[in-house]
Amino acid sequence: MSYRSPLLSRPGAVEASEPDAGVAAHYGDPLREQRLLARGEAVVDLSHRGVVTVAGEDRLNWLNTLSSQLLLDLKPGESRETLLLTVQGRIEYDVSIIDDGATSWLIVESFEAEGLAAWLSSMKFMLRVDVADVSGDWAVVGAAAAQAGFEERLAWQDPWPGIGAGGYAYTGIEESSHPGRERTWFEYLVPADGLEAAVAGRELAGVWAAEALRVAAWRPRFGFETDDKTIPHELDLLRTAVHLAKGCYKGQETIARVHNLGHPPRRLVFLQLDGSQHTLPARGSEVRFGERAVGRVTSTVQHYEMGPVALAVVKRSVDPSATLLVVDGDATYDAAQEAIVAPDAGQVVGRPAGLLRGPR
């Protein structure tokens, strides 16, 4: 049975489309909801998200061997992002992880949870770990600021866009000017049967508001900016989700080879769209440079300050100063691009210091 949040019964609620079906896109005034959310005065129903738990004495050692992030030193209440990769280094799962001292909580997209739990269960062997898909028992509530009254709840805080230990930034800008610095993000775990009580008396914003703040912060999202060929370098995910000095894990060879000796074949860009159409192109719309197709739009939003903006993945070779064209059926949109991943990202061996950045 498909999920449907009890908060969809709130006045004005309009249900979102996949992959966010089951929760509200908005409650009648999307731009007002964005403003409230950005000021920390609203929360977002993300109760459709998947939640997988890993309990047992060996959990952190075990998860560390499987994933791209160093997890051996994960302290209770500390948040990290980690990736599970294919042998070719392509992103298979993107996981938000927080540990409470006895259990590791893995927050993922709704469509990831079942497969992730099954795959983890198949990898247990004789280790003291217990994997469970508890998506039906737990809900997620998002917020752009710490919420009063939620202090005792387990909360994952997005590390983006910080450069974690062992991480590396693929942007060519000063870190202090990264737009993600303007966004903080928390995801609180709430018992599913207590969701309505947990948000009682609080302003609600829909997932459209959360998406607008995410896109403005250049924050990639699994299933949007990714496809079956995506490697972390293309999305600047080495800054938060990869530890370049940790031990062996599946996909590590590709991570190291591209970082040290090569270049990612594609790169993430931010697009400021021509607003004269009064519409937004669909996700997946073609991005062109002249007559040549060079990529695809991955996320589009109407931002309360910047207007229509988008994220897109384009070929590395595209001139970063060029104006691009987004094509959605008969509609076309001029698009000024801002490089998120620098065109010369990668090939760190022999690179002069001070261009792209490791942790300070």
Identify any residues that bridge with 150 across adjacent strands, giving them in sequence order: none
Q: Among 92, 235, 85, 237, which Cα is nearest to 168's?
A: 237
Backbone angles phi, psi at 294, to 5 degrees: -125, 0
SS3 31: helix
Contact 85, 92 (CB under 8 A): yes
Q: What is the pLDDT of residue 358?
A: 58
Split the chain (360 residues) into runs of 10 and give each run's mean pLDDT. Answer: 93 97 98 98 98 97 97 97 98 98 98 97 91 98 97 97 96 94 97 98 98 98 98 98 94 96 96 91 97 97 97 97 96 96 85 53
Q: What is the pLDDT of residue 230?
A: 98
Q: What is the pLDDT of residue 360?
A: 46
Q: What is the pLDDT of residues 1-10, one digit of tens each?
A: 689 999 999 9
SS3 45: strand
SS3 304: coil
Q: Among 40, 49, 46, which Cα is nearest to 24's?
A: 46
Q: Among 23, 336, 44, which Cα is nearest to 205's?
A: 44
Q: How does 134-163 read in b/e, with b if 16+ C-beta sit within 10 Å? A: bbeebbbbbbbeebeebeeebbbbbbbbeb
Backbone angles phi, psi at 237, to 5 degrees: -80, -5
Q: What is the pLDDT of residue 126?
A: 78
What single-letter amino acid sits at 152?
E
What domains can be seen in the chain, in order of their start residue? 6-216 (3.30.1360.120), 266-345 (2.40.30.110)
Q: What gap in Å lies between CA 312 and CA 345, rounded to an integer?
A: 17
| Non-local CB neighbours of 276 within 8 Å, separated by 6+ positions | none
Q: What is the pLDDT of residue 354?
A: 46
Helices (H), 4-137: 30-38, 59-66, 113-122
Q: What is the pLDDT of residues 211-270, one digit of tens each?
A: 999 999 999 999 999 999 999 999 999 999 999 999 889 999 999 999 999 999 999 999
